Chain A
Amino acid sequence: AQKITQTQPGMFVQEKEAVTLDCTYDTSDPSYGLFWYKQPSSGEMIFLIYQGSYDQQNATEGRYSLNFQKARKSANLVISASQLGDSAMYFCAMRERMDSSYKLIFGSGTRLLVRP
């Protein structure tokens, strides 16, 4: 069963506008973590933001914020004031327990294109 779902294969946004990238997840573990990564065309995965399941407030990192709605199991990424350099693939990921450690499982990604 799909544990991380990103329903938007591609998104467009005008430069300087805000954009929301959707992510829903499924887990029975009460302790979990949610991540967003950016992957430019060069290939490296760049950490953007993290939200723990017990965190009371939504995470923010500069222009990035995470709209965490626990009851709905959603963790949408909001990018404010989009820049041309924000054009990239964006992956939502969830930390999942495995034996003595954890692993990240990724959604299928959303390709964001920022228009000038």
Chain B
Amino acid sequence: DAMVIQNPRYQVTQFGKPVTLSCSQTLNHNVMYWYQQKSSQAPKLLFHYYDKDFNNEADTPDNFQSRRPNTSFCFLDIRSPGLGDAAMYLCATAHGPTNEKLLFGSGTQLSVL
């Protein structure tokens, strides 16, 4: 039973065309994270929410935005995708700030044509 669900599993978009990736969780976890992982690299944190408090990493491009309308859902918006944004995007949740264990979704593989 998937508890952190990411849709779609694969997303293809065109250069410059806005795209939204979604993440939902059934765990009622307070903390949600978005990571970007390029091929053969470590996941890189883009931003996270602690409840409604939004925290942006300093080096996250302005092109990336996020929304969390409620506890269960979180969205990643890429306003004008470039070729360099092609990557796996991983959503993760944790019950609280000490996050002994992050639970990850299966990821969305984004391709930019």
**Cα distance A47–B103 in the bound complex, in angstroms:** 7
Chain B 92-105, CB-CB to A under 8 Å as 1, else 0, gives: 10000111111111
Interface size class of A (residues with CB under 8 A): 20 to 34
Known: A45-B104, A99-B55. A106 touches B48 (CB 8 A): no
Q: Which residues of B contact A42 (CB under 8 A)?
A: 106
B106 near A91 with CB under 8 A, answer: no
Q: Which residues of B contact A104 (CB under 8 A)?
A: 33, 45, 99, 102
Total A-B contacts with CB atoms under 8 angstroms apart: 64
**Count of interface residues, chain B, beta-carbon cutoff 8 Å:** 27
The yes or no answer to B78 lying at the interface (CB within 8 A) is no
17 cross-chain CB contacts under 8 A: A35-B102, A42-B106, A43-B88, A44-B105, A44-B106, A44-B107, A45-B90, A45-B104, A47-B102, A52-B100, A91-B42, A103-B45, A104-B33, A104-B99, A105-B45, A106-B43, A109-B42
List residues of chain B with CB under 8 Å of any chain A CB.
31, 33, 40-45, 48, 50, 53, 55, 88, 90, 92, 97-107, 109
